[in-house]
Amino acid sequence: MKLSRRRGPYWRYGDTGRAQRLDVLLCCGLLLIPQALRFGMRPVLMTLACAGIGIAAEMLCCLLYRVEAAVTDLDSATIGVLIAMLVPANVGLYVPALAVIFAVAIAKMPFGGTGRAPLHPVAAGMAFATLCFPVNMFAYAAMDAGVLDLDLLHSVQVKTVQSPAALLNSGARPTLLLTELLTGEVEGPIGTTVAVVTAAMALYLIVRRTISYRIPLCWVLAVAITAALWPRVTTGRLDSALVELLTGSLLFYGIFLAAHTTTAPKLPIAQCAYGFVGGLIAMLFRYQGVFEQGGCFAVLLLNAMAPIFDKAAWHYLYKKRGGAPQ
């Protein structure tokens, strides 16, 4: 197999993508702070290890394909960091490590490297980890577990609990305060528990034009509408929408993965439809799926449909304007 190493199709003229990934890495670094304060240095070390594994996997693939390595674009490091954000702090390193290797070696490099993968590598890696290690992926250290052991090679032997998303999925009705949801006083993956910081990072990425505001906005709108129409909590439709949005990794997927510029549609109207449908699919996986978190599967389905959204939007604009859209 011959690997094609070409410049990725980015949405801003002259953008190499490195600045976008630096923005994402900065956001992930800030999302790590609450976990480091709660569990010690283990989440930080795991994130750094996953970034290094991503770089090493790309370099090995480049040696295999006999092409020049381009790890300085930070793409594989970003893949590793994003996967680390989506696993429990107490999990053994082998779980996210295998997910990173799958993402880089299977979902990215065979298609030509950075910017050429038709499916988001992080979503592919997370789908692999979810299917292969469901027990490890959804067992979270309790809030009062304290500082975790720094032995990354093995899972930490501490009290583990289910996340609020898992309780909802099993039919339970967790009672949570809004302050707990916003400040991260709930169990969940490393980078997804503090909704206030996640929302702030989304605003930063939008202002920086690293992502389009249309996709995460429509994603959140679809989630809120679905949760309000079919609530799974007993305290009201608004509470249902807040609990669904602020627990688990659903919000993280909508911001950092679904809005990824190289796998998302390019036309504005297509982006709106793409984000809304993505939110609906993510909620369908939450309500009817086997696993408590199905955001990775929703993103993969969306990526596969992205050309359809752009084509449909193009035809809509063509008929509306009486000519080809400008």
Is residue 48 a contact partner of residue 72, using CB atoms and an 8 Å limit? no
Give percent of the chain above pLDDT 90.
Answer: 50
Which strand (E) or helix (H) includes residue 160? strand 160-161
How wide is the angle at C-alpha 240 spanned by C-alphas 239 and 242, nearest 5°? Answer: 65
Identify which has the larger pLDDT, 70 or 44. Answer: 44
pLDDT tens digits for 213-264?
999 999 999 999 999 999 888 777 888 888 888 888 889 999 999 998 888 8
- List the structure tokens of 122: 């992080």
Query: What SS3 class is residue 110?
Result: helix
Confidence band for 4, pLDDT divided at 50, 70 and 90: very low
246 phi and psi angles, rounded to 5 deg:
-100, 5
pLDDT of 172 reads 65
pTM of the model: 0.89
Domain residue ranges in the chain: 18-321
Query: Quick check: 298 pLDDT over 70?
Result: yes
pLDDT tens digits for 99-110?
999 999 999 999
CATH of 18-321, one of 3.90.870, 1.20.120, 1.10.3430, 1.10.10: 1.10.3430
What is the mean pLDDT of the segment spanning 111-140? 92
Identify which has the larger pLDDT, 143 or 22. Answer: 22
Query: Quick check: 96 pLDDT over 90?
Result: yes
